[in-house]
Chains A and B, each alone.
Chain A
Amino acid sequence: DQQVKQNSPSLSVQEGRISILNCDYTNSMFDYFLWYKKYPAEGPTFLISISSIKDKNEDGRFTVFLNKSAKHLSLHIVPSQPGDSAVYFCAASVGSGYSTLTFGKGTMLLVSP
């Protein structure tokens, strides 16, 4: 039973456009969410997080939106750059201080010039 789902295994976007990566979760106890980026042969790199007390968090080109009623979050990258091409993982936990993360399977983003 997958508690964190990323239903799109891949996404292709042109450079300069917006990339929208989606994530759904089923466990209503999750209240802290993170996005990681992973290049081949490297470990995941933390991108941005959001607590359930917020519905939006922004950091430069990256914005995460949280819709608690729909149990849905999304990562927006604007403008997309070729260097953003990577696998993006959505992760969730119960509490920001709780250490166990539940990950989705990832979405591979390809940004073409």
Chain B
Amino acid sequence: SAVISQKPSRDICQRGTSLTIQCQVDSQVTMMFWYRQQPGQSLTLIATANQGSEATYESGFVIDKFPISRPNLTFSTLTVSNMSPEDSSIYLCSVRAGSSGNTIYFGEGSWLTVV
């Protein structure tokens, strides 16, 4: 398995501001993923972050709103830009790991509330 640490664990943000979430993994991984879970909803993939290339965004998510950095094989950041109350959500970093390399593991999540 992989140990994934996220910062901040929770924050209250003002409307219109931006916040960067950090994700640190205890081992080198090729692909890191950012998910969002809005209240009462399922987890939804925002983007896949590959080291050395631009992130790949899912339908409905754009780089201007959720810029992602992936400077090395153990670290990534997700920025939530120009926040609105609709961005209040849990943001989760995840990686693919495990003995067979086919299990997705998650960090503990970053709970953002936009007021």
Contacts and interface: CB of A to CB of B under 8 A. Distances in A.
B96 interface: yes
Given A44-B92, A97-B101, A105 B106 contact: no
B42 A105 contact: yes
Contact of B111 (A41, A45, A101): A41
Contacts of A44: 43, 92, 106
Interface residues of B, number: 30
A4 B98 CA distance: 24
**Most central of A43, A46, A49, A101 by chain B CB within 10 Å:** A43
Interface in B1-58: 1, 4, 6, 9-10, 31, 33, 40-45, 48, 58
Contacts of B105: 46
A34 B104 contact: yes
B92 A106 contact: no
A99 B108 contact: no
Nearest to B109: A43
Contacts of B99: none
A36 B106 CA distance: 10
B65 to A, nearest CB: 19
Nearest to B110: A43
A105 B40 contact: yes
Interface of A: 2, 4, 32, 34, 36, 41-46, 49, 89, 91, 96-97, 99-101, 103-106
Interface of B: 1, 4, 6, 9-10, 31, 33, 40-45, 48, 58, 92, 94, 96, 98, 100-109, 111
23 contacts: A32-B102, A34-B103, A36-B106, A41-B10, A41-B108, A41-B111, A43-B4, A43-B106, A43-B109, A46-B103, A49-B102, A49-B103, A96-B102, A97-B101, A99-B33, A99-B48, A99-B96, A99-B104, A100-B33, A100-B45, A101-B43, A105-B40, A105-B41
